[in-house]
Amino acid sequence: MALETGGFVPKGNLDTDSSALGRSGQREIIKKVLQSLRKYRLLIFISLILATVSVVFTLLVPIKIGDAIDHLGEGPMSFELNGLNRNLVLAALFAIAVGLSQWVMNLINNRITYLTVRDLRNRTIGKIHKLPLKYIDSHSHGDIVSRVIADADQFADGLLMGFTQAFTGILTIIGTLFFMLRLNAVITLVVVIVTPLSLFVAKYISSKTYDMFRLQGRERGEQTALIEEMISNEKAVKAFGREQAVMERFDEINGRLRESSLKAIFFSSLTNPCTRFVNAVCYALVALSGSFYVLYKGSNELLGGITVGTLTVFLSYANQYTKPFNEISSVISELQNAIACAARVFEVMEEEPELSDENSTVLGDVNGCVELKNVDFSYNKDIELIKDLNLSVEPGKRVAIVGPTGCGKTTIINLLMRFYDVDGGSVCVEGSDIRTLTRKSLRESYGMVLQDTWLKKGTIRDNIRIADMDASDEEVIRAAKATHAHSFIRRLKDGYDTVVGEDLGGLSQGQRQLLCISRIMLGIPPMLILDEATSSIDTRTELKIQDAFATMMKGRTSFIVAHRLSTIQNADVILVMKNGHIIEQGDHATLLSKKGFYFELYNSQFQST
């Protein structure tokens, strides 16, 4: 969490997509979307068939109504199923067929859309698991969440509109042209000449709105990042009196989002009225030219002529022909937004993953021999952190790592677990460079308790079982007793069946940390990493847990990071770090006798203020 004068600053670079995609970039995104749809080819084919049925029957309805109108002028009406009644009944049946086919088509289109978005989200979450921690640490978590949730939803809305309206719209245009040409080629030509103006207007506006929608998506991600940071750190906000600064920061982002959203919505909303104006002109021209043909019916053989019923059919077709242009223009605007959102999602999926473990060796028969040889590492290449670090740990040894904040203690843990790869040198376990080992087998060889606790949504029993999903209830209770967590769990209303949710079940930080320690007690691996594992636990309970830790660490290589130096006095080796280097090492008594940096650190914790 960053406390700045202007408010909280989201972690990472939110401007990863600052450059707008060109047309080639948009085409690439569309290709990727189409590839995602390939597995649903059968459903898409059925949807196309239903769209065709819907359009055909929709176009037949005006013809039957026109025939019914013409039948009015042929003499007295008959109430049998012929003439007027027959045409009206057929028109009603066709309308029912249209409604049924559209209903089934919409069900299928919804299924295609949300299955596609489900797959997209699954692939994105799967990719996040494969990304190096460097990516997660250097990007705003809120922005990543926004891409997976909000951008995927926006993409779903655009895709659904594309399926629902684009299919039927294109088929309607083709179908109405076919039927109009059969009725009168000249009036059809009037319609064809005018309507392309709708496409020109829609294309012009959509080309301007794509960049606006991308800017809107990026700023929405920045807003989500700020909200996520504020909610997770609300105590700090109140403690430091940063409410006003946070609101100013939020208002500033919200203002930018409002401005970009208004621009995107305003320009995209111009499409529909502009195309409707063109369509109104088209309708007027059809009415004018059609009336001319009706008036001259039979009076001029060259001009031919049409009936009033046929003119009615033409006017209906003019509306049906121009309506898809309105819909498609709206679809184009929505698709611009959908493509912009899809681009943000695909950016995550196209990030470079961690190196594959495909040809790596599975680590087995672990005794706990660990060695760091000439290790160089920095999070930021411009700022040196660890340089030429050497360390050799024999199996079963307890190694404590101490030093001032920022000296590289937790960084060594990150390197041991291969959360990050070294820039130079090597980290070896059992004589093998860990870069040649599978991450799964390496990490299964470590039991890890961190200062930051993590509990999933579920019961307390399920949270302890994370270390061993096959553990029995008796083993879970035994592990909890070993960490002195059993007593507070038993006092909870539902005991081990207490559900831990977003509010963490009302558990204190120390209680959550005891549960995390219980996991390690449940399934003890060959090596242990304890990074400030008891930092949130009271001294009395910590003294009791130290006995359990001593039993747990017996015969196992253990790495202990601690600021309270009184907790690591029994370590076999204490590594004293400063500025990324090990400046002293030895046991507690030896280091105190040297009266060096460790001596100063140890005594500083007992000096009166």
Residue 118 has pLDDT above 70, yes or no: yes
d(CA 61, CA 320): 11
Domain 451-524 has CATH 3.40.50.300: yes
Distances in Å between the alpha carbon of 218 and those of 207, 223, 251, 294, 608? Answer: 18, 9, 16, 57, 52
Contact 63, 313 (CB under 8 A): yes
Choice among 63-77, 93-107, 169-183, 320-334 with the minimum mean pLDDT = 63-77
Task: Give me the residues paired with residue 427 across strands.
Answer: 372
Helix (H) or strand (E) run with residue 416 in it: helix 409-416
Mean pLDDT of the chain: 78
What would the mean pLDDT of 464-468 be, rounded to a whole number?
84
For the chain, the domains span: 24-349, 451-524
What would the mean pLDDT of 221-244 be, rounded to a whole number?
77
What would the mean pLDDT of 130-159 be, rounded to a whole number?
80
According to the model, what pLDDT value does residue 609 have?
40
According to the model, what pLDDT value does residue 427 have?
92
DSSP label at 361?
Answer: B
Residue-wise pLDDT tens digits, 554-568: 888 888 887 777 667
Residue-wise pLDDT tens digits, 475-494: 889 888 888 888 888 888 88
Task: Give me the residues paired with residue 398 across strands.
Answer: 558
Q: Please tell me whether residue 365 adopts helix, strand or coil conformation.
A: coil
Residue-wise pLDDT tens digits, 356-371: 777 888 888 888 899 9
Give me the architecture of the 24-349 domain, per CATH: Up-down Bundle (1.20)
287: burial class by Cβ within 10 Å (0-12, 13-18, 19+)? middle
d(CA 542, CA 528): 18
According to the model, what pLDDT value does residue 426 have?
92
Task: Give me the residues paired with residue 581 across strands.
Answer: 578
23 or 530, which is more confident? 530
According to the model, what pLDDT value does residue 301 have?
42
According to the model, what pLDDT value does residue 71 have?
64
When pLDDT is cut at 50, 70 and 90, the band that residue 7 belongs to is very low
Residue 542 has pLDDT above 80, yes or no: no
Choice among 182-191, 193-202, 511-520 with the minimum mean pLDDT = 193-202
Residue-wise pLDDT tens digits, 448-460: 887 777 787 888 8
Helix (H) or strand (E) run with residue 432 in it: strand 432-433
444 contact partners, CB below 8 Å, separation of at least 6: 525
Residue-wise pLDDT tens digits, 380-406: 877 778 888 888 888 888 888 888 877
214 or 371, which is more confident? 371
When pLDDT is cut at 50, 70 and 90, the band that residue 20 belongs to is very low
Contact 308, 70 (CB under 8 A): yes
CA 21 to chain centre: 20
Choice among 152-156, 186-190, 301-305 with the minimum mean pLDDT = 301-305
According to the model, what pLDDT value does residue 12 have?
41
Residue-wise pLDDT tens digits, 302-311: 445 667 777 7
Contact 442, 399 (CB under 8 A): no
Residue in 368, 402, 396, 375 with CA at minimum distance from that of residue 531: 402
Query: Per-residue DSSP letters for 258-311?
Result: HHHHHHHHHHHHTHHHHHHHHHHHHHHHHHHHHHHHHHTTTT-TTT----HHHH
pLDDT > 90: percent of the chain: 2
State the SS3 of 212-267. HHHHHHHHHHHHHHHHHHHHHCHHHHHHCCCHHHHHHHHHHHHHHHHHHHHHHHHH
Task: Give me the residues paired with residue 437 across strands.
Answer: 361
